[in-house]
Amino acid sequence: MAEATRPSPAVEIGEVLATQQVGLRLRPPFPAYLAGVPLPLAPNRVATAVSLRTLWLGPDEWLIVAEGEAPGLVPRLERALSGRRAAIHDLSSSRTIIDIRGGGARALLAAGCSLDLHPRAFGPGQCAQTLLARVPVILDQIDEAPHYRLLVRRSYARWLHAWLVDAAEGL
């Protein structure tokens, strides 16, 4: 699934390789930055810093996605949270990231998702946990192009990729 495919002229589907994903649970109070990692404090928002994207997943839960390897990320967070009630887990092996871009990306996702993806309701810098074709995913809108990333459990990734390619052929 690593190679990008173009099942229609309006959509390109690929896989984002070499990312580190770290789950963070933290009791309040929440800082805006934690060891150089930005924490979005508003629901369903994404905060970015250099090669890090932090997705708000719940009132005390975030997913930090680092492009490429970030070998010191987990120890740096552990040091910053020493003495606080927190949990940090490297989740890199549990999910893959499917990249969807192009003018038909929004319509493709809308075909299998109940979220309102209209630009007035869901735009760049927003994320949501939802179902896409009955598969649990985290949806992250990267930019207005539109460009999206789906974080999906590896066990569902091939099936969801095949569903996306099949659905995109009708666009």
Q: pLDDT band at residue 26, thresholds of 50, 70 and 90?
A: very high
Q: Are 14 and 7 in contact (CB under 8 A)?
A: no
Alpha carbons 53 and 67: distance in angstroms, whole number: 8
Domain check: are 80 and 104 in the same one?
no
Domain check: are 158 and 104 in the same one?
yes
Handedness of CA 89, 123, 100, 164 (dihedral sign): positive
Residue 24 has pLDDT above 70, yes or no: yes
Range of the domain at 73: 19-90
Domain check: are 68 and 124 in the same one?
no
Nearest Cα neighbor of 129 from 121, 116, 140 is: 140
Whether the full predicted model's pTM is greater than 0.85, yes or no, is yes
The per-residue pLDDT for range 120-156, each reduced to its tens digit, is 999 999 999 999 999 999 999 999 999 999 999 999 9
